Structure 1
Amino acid sequence: MSKFWHYLGNIAGIILAFALYMVLQILYFYPRKVELGHSRVIVTALVTVIVLFLIFYLYKKQLKEANDWGFNREPHWDMRRIGIAILGFILMVLGAAVMLHIAGGISENQQGLDRIEQSTGDLFKIMVVFIAPFCEEVIFRGMFFNIFFTKETKTNKWLGILASGFVFGYMHDPMLSKYIFIYWVLGIVLAWIYTTTKDLRYSMLVHMCYNALGFI
């Protein structure tokens, strides 16, 4: 019974983290819907710091309770894992290019983001380049593996990579169009980086760098 409640608590944690992420999306993508007046910048910055702290706290709390993989253990930086991150970034760029060529056109998700960018400007860039990668890596990689693939086995690693990638793809393309395969590939590579380096910092940085490419 204790395992059941522990599992239920982790599910509640990931739902809470996703809800907090949605709050940030509203603040950054639809600022006109929230009446904050002249204090908009201060309130947005304060809420951002609090939400990011809470989301990462939930992730760290799960790791303290069970961490068979050895995720997030020190030291956090070494050349081998930096090399894995660089390889992962290259795979993301190539994989996305190949899948986009196969699918053709522009996904509905991307069209929606383009419309949002036109109305929000710099807020959009901050969300896409920094905040979204942070939140999505904690939720779709960190917390996802903590809940559904807790034991470190080869089977769990590759099933988890595929499942994490698909959930990531579905959240970006809930209509299940042909473009979901683009996001699925991106999610697979990010999950591979996380499970191979065993440190969320690397998948976060790669995710941030990939998203930043769209503004270069």
Structure 2
Amino acid sequence: MAIFNKCHALFLGFLVFAIVGAAGYSVNQGDYFQHQYTFIVVKSLLLCLSIGYARWFDMISFGVLSKKQLLLFIGIFLLTVLVNIGYHAFFSVASGASAQHLEKTSNGLSLSFIVNVTVLAPIHEELLFRGLLQGAFFDNSWLGLVLTSSLFSFMHEPYDVPSFFYYLLGGLLLGFAYKKSQNLWVSTLVHMFYNAWPLLYYL
């Protein structure tokens, strides 16, 4: 039964990765100024359905934050900011994700891009990497945390070793937040606030 549950979580993770990503791209073709509201609605609906399905089968833990979890969120978020500042003081980061960010922001910020970066993408990634993979498939183990964080970094298309370790560190911090809290909202909120921080700086 445990093997079936793991395979179920892995299969759902694959579907979430493929369908949510493909649906978003099919709406706007990678242009965040095209069909903005349709993009937001379609991706939001698919994510809500995915989360509801995962919760129905007890694959993820997604609840109201306790005081301890709120403090954990604040602590991990501040730590990610400090790590980010320190890392950029010594290394440059180049990846497919950052290149896309620079390309989009250079053309101006659209509503769908801001919503995607600060809300939809963090929910999508946390559901997949922390919830379904680290939590449901790897039983929230330390080995699962490291392996999932490595995959998280790889999926951000780092161009060199320093860039890989940059995303790996981010994945480890998010994974630690989920492992310690057992609540996907903690890592998701850290991810949301972390992604919003450079946008606020840009604005």
The TM-score by the shorter chain falls in which range? 0.7 to 0.9
Structure 2 residue 123 is the aligned partner of structure 1 residue 134: yes
What secondary structure does 1:16 align onto?
helix
Aligned counterparts of 1:46 and 1:32: Cα–Cα separation in 2? 13
Aligned counterparts of 2:3 and 2:67: Cα–Cα separation in 1? 40
Alignment deviations for residues 14-34 of structure 1 (CA, whole Å, 9 cap, x no partner): 100001231254245713898
Structure 2 portions without partners, runs of 5+: none
The correspondence of residues 16-55 of structure 1 with structure 2, limited to 5 A, is: 16-26=15-25, 27=27, 30-31=30-31, 40-55=35-50
Give the C-alpha shift of residue 3 in structure 1. Answer: 5.0
What secondary structure does 1:53 align onto?
helix
Structure 1 portions without partners, runs of 5+: 35-39
Aligned counterparts of 1:164 and 1:24: Cα–Cα separation in 2? 24
Stretches of 4+ moved more than 6 A in 1?
none
Aligned counterparts of 1:16 and 1:60: Cα–Cα separation in 2? 15
Structure 2 residue 102 is the aligned partner of structure 1 residue 107: no
Aligned counterparts of 1:149 and 1:191: Cα–Cα separation in 2? 12
- What is the TM-score normalised by the length of structure 1? 0.79
Give the C-alpha shift of residue 163 in structure 1. Answer: 1.7
| CA RMSD in angstroms, aligned pairs only | 2.6
Paired residue type of 1:108: S
Bigger Rg, structure 1 or 2: 1
The counterpart of 2:65, out of the listed 66, 72, 77, is 77
Q: Indicate conservation of the 8 Å contact 2:76/2:177, yes or no.
A: yes
User: Alpha carbons of 1:33 and 1:91: their partners in 2 closer, same or farther (altered >3 Å)?
Assistant: closer
Q: Indicate conservation of the 8 Å contact 2:9/2:137, yes or no.
A: no
Q: Indicate conservation of the 8 Å contact 1:169/1:183, yes or no.
A: yes
- What is the TM-score normalised by the length of structure 2? 0.83
Equivalence for 1:170: 154
What secondary structure does 2:115 align onto?
helix
The correspondence of residues 1-216 of structure 1 with structure 2, limited to 5 A, is: 4-26=3-25, 27=27, 30-31=30-31, 40-63=35-58, 71-72=61-62, 76-104=64-92, 106-109=93-96, 110-119=98-107, 121-122=109-110, 123-150=112-139, 156=141, 158-173=142-157, 175=159, 177-216=161-200
Give the C-alpha shift of residue 176 in structure 1. Answer: 5.2
Alignment deviations for residues 149-206 of structure 1 (CA, whole Å, 9 cap, x no partner): 22x6xxx2x2222222211111112555320111111111111111111111111111
Paired residue type of 1:56: I
Q: Indicate conservation of the 8 Å contact 2:65/2:186, yes or no.
A: no
Q: Indicate conservation of the 8 Å contact 1:24/1:48, yes or no.
A: yes
Percent identity of the aligned residues?
Answer: 22
Q: Indicate conservation of the 8 Å contact 2:94/2:160, yes or no.
A: no
Q: Indicate conservation of the 8 Å contact 1:25/1:127, yes or no.
A: no
Give the C-alpha shift of residue 62 in structure 1. Answer: 3.9
